[in-house]
A and B are shown apart, each in its own frame.
Chain A
Amino acid sequence: MMQLVNISKSFGRVQALSGVSLTLEGTGIYGLLGNNGAGKTTLLNILTSRIFPDGGSLTLDGQPMLDRDEALSQIFMMGELNLYPEDMRVRRALEITGYMYPRFRMEEALALGERFGLNLKSRITALSTGYRSIFRIVTALSVHTPYLLLDEPVLGLDARHRDLFYKLLLESYGNDPRCILLSTHLIQEAEPLIEEAVILQAGRILRQGSVEKLLSGAYQLSGPAGLVDNFLGSRKPLAQTSLGGLKTVYLEGARPQSCPAGLEISPAGLQGYFIALMEEEESKC
């Protein structure tokens, strides 16, 4: 079990994280969601000791985990930043990962590379943005650590490769269930994979819980603006959008069993829920 308690981090005057407490345990795919600058990458960098928090504690199975080999060897992070030497060839980078992580499966990496059309002889520096992401995906999926952190894994990938990645991630998870923390802006695409969501906003955790539970407490109501406003009464929606005479609002709470004619109630998707939350927070500022 990975446990973070009251983590804070600032860069100069910018408070990147503030009082973040989070527990990752067992197996599951967690979605780390947040706007740009919400603190997602900072959080992942702290989890892998790439940077140090200003305050708070991190433990893995009850033991301090900051900069400890015992803890770090249980985690693999696929970040946006390439930490392998730029002039290293892809195959060599995979070999080195194999040296460092005993559970790394070279045959699997080679097979995945082939499926993505990754040139193993190429130098990392010569890879396009998309293929750099593919190189990192191939490495990450072949490592088989109990904790896998993916930071914007589909950056620069075309639709076909993104689709392949999601399939392979599920396949890999099915074969070797582990704790995967997926940070992404492409919520709609990743939604079918995510079991638990952690929503960050301005360095704080705004919502956290199973996607099913979060979405069961929210719904979407749409219809003619007048009808919607009458139905709402004094209730304040999380967010609203208007197009012509039609209005859509996002509401938190149990979904009503029935609604007036002309109105439509539908479950809020994770992306809709996320946008609604962000808009609500912005309106508070």
Chain B
Amino acid sequence: MLKAKWKGVLAYEIEESGKTHGLFFGIMFIVYLSILLLSGGDISGGSFSGSAEIFSFVVGIVSVRQDLRLFLQNGKGRRTVFLAQVFLALGNALFMALALPLLGILIQVLASTLFPGTSGVLWGEFSFLYSGVQASLPVMIALAFLANFAVFFLGMCISLIYYRLNKLGKLLVSLGVPALIILLAIQGVRTESLHAVLRFLLDLPSPLAVYAVICIPAAFLCAGASWLLLRRAPVTGSGASSLSLKG
């Protein structure tokens, strides 16, 4: 019974996200191929990782609402919806982490084949962390995994905050959060505690450690908040987005 339940849930998640991620990878490949062809082989400075993180963030926003409705329609509770999102977050982060270097290799091969003599380098956002030097492959994979894992849950959390809030709440959050960020930006730099945090991050042995220290707690925090928002989320009316990124 339990096995059958998860078989169905995972089959759905794998098939639907497989289509979406395949499409995303295809689009990114076409975009970078176009840049390569138009620039005559110079692709230095291009970044796939930023697009991947934006995509992961949007998938996090959309999938939780879509799955909540679909799963409730099909006899699955909110705990299963949440666990399916964790599975999706892990799968998405892994896909992005592996697709990033794969796309880089593909473009490099094409660049050297189509434009011999050029030294096209597909820079990731992570390269600046390593003083302009391309990070090693395992480090790139780890960084991309952490970043995509965290932003997925950030998207999911924001999506659920807006799903649960009433109109006034949505307005207050929409205005309040930017106001708070601006206030923190103005006031925060002067505070000793922020300096201490920054010093702590700068003192970490590597950018990978910085990412781990930021992304892992952020992912857990967002996931925890998401569960609290999800566990009593009603499914009625037009609460969920009709926007679909799956299939």
Contacts and interface: CB of A to CB of B under 8 A. Distances in A.
Interface of A: 45, 48-52, 67-70, 72-77, 81, 83-88, 92, 96-97, 99-102, 125, 145
Interface of B: 1, 4-5, 7-9, 11-12, 66, 69-80, 231-232, 234-237, 242, 244, 246-247
The 7 closest A-B pairs by CB, nearest first: A100-B74, A83-B73, A99-B8, A83-B69, A73-B75, A67-B77, A72-B75
A96 B75 CA distance: 12
Given A51-B234, A51-B235, A69 B70 contact: no
Contacts of A145: 75
A192 to B, nearest CB: 29
Given A50-B236, A52-B234, A100 B244 contact: no
6 contacts: A51-B236, A52-B234, A70-B1, A85-B70, A88-B244, A96-B74
Contacts of A96: 12, 70, 74
Contacts of B232: 52
A92 B246 CA distance: 12
Contacts of A84: 69-70, 73
A126 to B, nearest CB: 13
Given A51-B234, A102-B4, A88 B247 contact: yes
A101 B1 CA distance: 11
Contact of B244 (A77, A86, A99): A86
A50 B234 contact: yes
B235 A50 contact: yes
A77 B247 CA distance: 24
A78 to B, nearest CB: 9
B237 A69 contact: no
Contact of A86 (B4, B76, B242): B242
Contacts of A77: 73
Given A50-B72, A85-B244, A68 B77 contact: yes
A76 B76 CA distance: 11
Contacts of A48: 72
B235 A100 contact: no
Contacts of A49: 72, 77-78
Given A76-B75, A81-B236, A84-B70, 10 more contacts: A45-B236, A49-B77, A50-B236, A52-B234, A69-B79, A72-B77, A96-B70, A100-B76, A125-B242, A145-B75
A40 B114 CA distance: 67
Contacts of A75: 75
Nearest to B239: A81
A49 B69 CA distance: 11
A45 to B, nearest CB: 6
Nearest to B231: A67
**In this complex, which of A72, A83, A88 has the most chain B Cβ atoms within 10 angstroms of its Cβ?**
A83
Nearest to B232: A52
Contacts of A125: 242
Contacts of A73: 5, 75-76
Contacts of A72: 72, 75-77
Contacts of A70: 1
A164 B74 CA distance: 25
Contact of A100 (B9, B78, B79, B246): B9
A49 B12 CA distance: 21
A83 B72 contact: yes
A86 B69 CA distance: 11
A86 B70 CA distance: 11
A92 B11 CA distance: 13
Contacts of B72: 48-50, 72, 83
Contacts of A67: 77-79, 231
Given A72-B76, A88-B247, A100 B242 contact: no
Contacts of B4: 102
Contact of A69 (B5, B11, B234, B246): B5
A96 B11 CA distance: 9
Nearest to B13: A99
Contact of B12 (A74, A76, A100, A102): A100
Nearest to A104: B74
A69 B244 contact: no
Nearest to B246: A85
Nearest to B73: A83
B158 to A, nearest CB: 20
Given A45-B236, A86-B242, A69 B75 contact: yes
A148 to B, nearest CB: 12
Contacts of B247: 85, 88, 92
